[in-house]
Structure 1
Amino acid sequence: MAKSNGNYHVNGEEFATKDALTKRVRQIRDKYLGNKILNETDAAFIRDLLTHHTEAAEKAGIGLKHFTVEKNRDGTDSFYITRTDGSRDDFSFKTCITNIRRM
C-alpha cells in the first residue's frame, strides 16, 4: 500500500492545503461566470469535489448532466447542478472543502 503524503486529492490533482484547493476551485468558478456550462475537464474536477459534500447523494440525485456557475438567491456566484431529469440545485464548494480529508 502506498504511503500517504498527507495532501488533499481531487480528480488526480494534489493540494498541500485547503487554501490551495480553494484557490483552484475559485479559478474554475471564475472561468464560467454568467451561466456557462463547465467543460469536461473542469466538470470532472467539480464532480469529484462534490463527493465530499455532506449531502452529495441528494445533490447528485438521479444523475448529473452538467454544472454551471450562476448567482444563487443570495447573489453569490455558485456552482449549480443540472441533473439528467432536468431538475437543478446549487451546492457550496466550501462545504466540500470543509469535509475533505487528507490522503
Structure 2
Amino acid sequence: MAKAQSVEIAGHQFPRKTDALAFMKVMLNRYRPGDTVTDDDREFLQEALKRHPEAATKIRSGVRGFEVRAADYGTQCFWILRIDGSDERFSYKSCI
C-alpha cells in the first residue's frame, strides 16, 4: 500500500492529496458561475496554480484574479484572469 503524500499550499498543510482536492472542491462550490473569487481564496489559488504542470503557460503575463464559470456537463471551474486582459480555465486537480 502506498504511503499518503502530504501537500502544503499557501500555509495549509494537507495530510493527503485527496484532502487538498476536497478543500479545493469545497472552495469551488462556494461560488456560482460568474462570481469573482475572494481575496483569501485568490491567494490560495495563486499558490496552487504554481503547482500546475503548465503553470508558466497558464500564468503568462501574471494573474490579477480568478473567477468561477460554467463548464461542461453542468459543472463549473476556475478561470484565471490575467493582467493582460486574457483569461483561461484551469483544472484545480492538476495543481495537486
TM-score, normalised to structure 1, is 0.82
Give the aligned partner of residue 7 of structure 2: 8
Alignment gaps of 5+ in structure 2: none
Q: Percent identity?
A: 31
Give the aligned partner of residue 88 of structure 1: 87
| CA distance, structure 2, for counterparts of residue 48 and residue 33 of structure 1 | 22
Alignment gaps of 5+ in structure 1: 1-5, 98-103
Aligned ranges 1:91-102 → 2 under 5 Å: 91-97=90-96
**Tell me, what secondary structure is at the counterpart of 2:37?**
coil
Cα shift at 1:71: 1.4
Give the aligned partner of residue 56 of structure 2: 57
TM-score, normalised to structure 2, is 0.88
Amino acid at match of 1:59: K
Contact preservation (8 Å) 2:6, 2:17: no
List structure 1 segments (4+ residues) > 2 angstroms apart after TM superposition. none
Give the aligned partner of residue 41 of structure 1: 40
Amino acid at match of 1:68: E
Give the aligned partner of residue 100 of structure 1: none
Amino acid at match of 2:80: I
Q: How many residues are paired up? A: 91
| CA distance, structure 2, for counterparts of residue 51 and residue 68 of structure 1 | 17
Give the aligned partner of residue 79 of structure 1: 78
**Tell me, what secondary structure is at the counterpart of 1:19?**
helix
Contact preservation (8 Å) 2:70, 2:76: yes
Q: Deviations over 1:45-94 (max 9, x none)?
A: 1111111111101101101111011113x243111011011101000111
**Tell me, what secondary structure is at the counterpart of 1:33?**
coil
CA RMSD of aligned residues (A): 1.2
Structure possessing the higher relative contact order (Cα contacts under 8 Å, 6 or more residues apart): 1
**Tell me, what secondary structure is at the counterpart of 1:37?**
coil
